Amino acid sequence: MAFSKQATLPGFDRTFEVSSEARPYTLRDNGFVNTKPGNFLYERPLETASGAKVVLKVTIDKNVETLKISTVTPNGLNSVDVNKLTENEMVVEKINFIFDGFVDRNCLIEVNS
């Protein structure tokens, strides 16, 4: 998946962009780590009530301008649509909470598409 100006998760009605106020130190303060190519990666393992495990990944490019968002299996090989999981309410709530935090801390902005 390539970086883009706007990103969303499949099945979610929320679209995000990197905030113009985001800086590398802002991202690191909010749990992002630097990758070898210099990008910023946030990874958060999540588990549904039924025991299914997924990992939320938010990657912001090294210029802090574009991003990509995905949910994948724990080994990172397959994409997962959280809305198709059984007993997914807790995971959806956690993902929304994480994104609300990123918006509140000026890492991301939510756009109306």
Token readout for 36 is: 């070898």
Q: Could you report the per-residue pLDDT of 62-98, keeping only the tens digit for each? A: 999 999 999 998 988 888 888 887 788 888 999 999 9
Which residues, in sequence order, are CB contacts of 63 under 8 Å at separation 6+?
Answer: none
Contact predicate 55/31, CB 8 Å: no
Total-model pTM: 0.91
